[in-house]
Amino acid sequence: GIKSVVTIHDLIFLRYPEYYKPIDRKIYNFKFRYACQVADRIVAISECTKRDIMHFYHIPEEKIDVVYQGCDPQYSVRVSESRKSEVRLKYDLPEKFILNVGSIEERKNLMLAVQALKDIPSDVHLVAIGRKTPYVNKIMDYVAENNLEDRVHLIHDLPHKDLPAVYQLATLFVYPSRFEGFGMVVAEAMACGVPPVAFACPCGPKDIIRDGEDGLLAKNGDVEDLAEKICLLIERDELRKRMGSRAREHVRRFDIDTIMQQWRQLFDEVTS
């Protein structure tokens, strides 16, 4: 007799089954389907996840609420120049770099950002921060074959407290992921005033980025268009700064207080 609400982050294991072991897919599918069927309400963390729940599990739209994830307040705080200098020295970060954050795995598609470097000015580096997986070997083989060792920097196990400084040192943020439930790191970059460039795939980041306003969306899977969008922001300082400022304002819709209010309203409706 107790009311229940379940949060579904994504159904990537159904969209991209090749990234999961068969036994894991079977277990996830059983648990997620059952939870969606028996819960009184379902929270999806993006419009994309909501569509997937309706598509794969045939759940009626009126049972699903979209409540975005909250962005950690630490990213909205401006980091001092001395602290940024300390972090730059600690990780030997280049003067001008594109940043990517997230597990370095196949689905996150970092390879396309690496491939885009050939069409980006040579003084611009790529810094990727995230958990190491076997996919890293594939990336580093490409880096070695194309003489990019000096321009590609992979950092693993970076402490959470150092991330805001790294974000704010970046020239821009790039996120070529094939699919995300939400894409929290895009919101983190925007909270730091760093404009993102992501692919226009029908997934989470499209809920966050207003194309041409506070970031840019490249054609899905198109390396040349990705490089073109990155170059546009690198070459046009005023545009990049304007987008960064708008991004910082826009991402306030994901602050903790706003998200809390939405949850309170949802619980009130469920229990009334």
List the structure tokens of 180: 């995300």
238: part of which helix (H) or strand (E)?
helix 237-250
| Residue 97 clears pLDDT 70, i.e. is over it | yes
First to last CA, the chain: 14
Which has the closest alpha carbon to 221: 199, 254, 244? 199
Which residues, in sequence order, are CB contacts of 124 under 8 Å at separation 6+? 96, 97, 98, 117, 151, 171, 234
Per-residue model confidence as pLDDT tens digits over 31-82: 999 999 999 999 999 998 999 999 999 999 999 999 998 888 999 999 999 9
pLDDT at 199: 87
Average pLDDT over residues 14-18: 92
| Residue 202 clears pLDDT 80, i.e. is over it | no
List the structure tokens of 49: 């996840």
Give the whole-angstrom CA distance, residue 228 versus residue 73.
32
Phi then psi dihedrals of residue 79, to 5 deg: -85, 135
Which has the closest alpha carbon to 159: 91, 94, 96, 105? 91
Phi then psi dihedrals of residue 5, to 5 deg: -130, 130
Per-residue model confidence as pLDDT tens digits over 131-180: 999 999 999 999 999 999 999 999 998 999 999 999 999 999 999 988 88
51: part of which helix (H) or strand (E)?
helix 47-57
pTM of the model: 0.90
Give the whole-angstrom CA distance, residue 55 versus residue 58.
6
Assign 2 to helix, strand or coil. Answer: coil
Per-residue model confidence as pLDDT tens digits over 42-52: 999 999 899 99
For the beta sheet containing 125-129, the strands, ordered from the edge strand earlier in sequence to the opposite edge, are 152-155, 125-129, 97-101, 172-175, 196-199, 216-218
Residue carrying the six token digits 């996840």: 49
pLDDT band at 181 (very low <50, low <70, confident <90, very high): confident
Residue 8 bridge partners (DSSP): 44
Phi then psi dihedrals of residue 44, to 5 deg: -105, 140
pLDDT at 188: 95
Assign 17 to helix, strand or coil. Answer: helix
Per-residue model confidence as pLDDT tens digits over 246-271: 999 998 888 888 899 999 999 999 99
Residue carrying the six token digits 């090749």: 18
Per-residue model confidence as pLDDT tens digits over 100-121: 999 999 989 999 999 999 999 9
Assign 245 to helix, strand or coil. Answer: helix
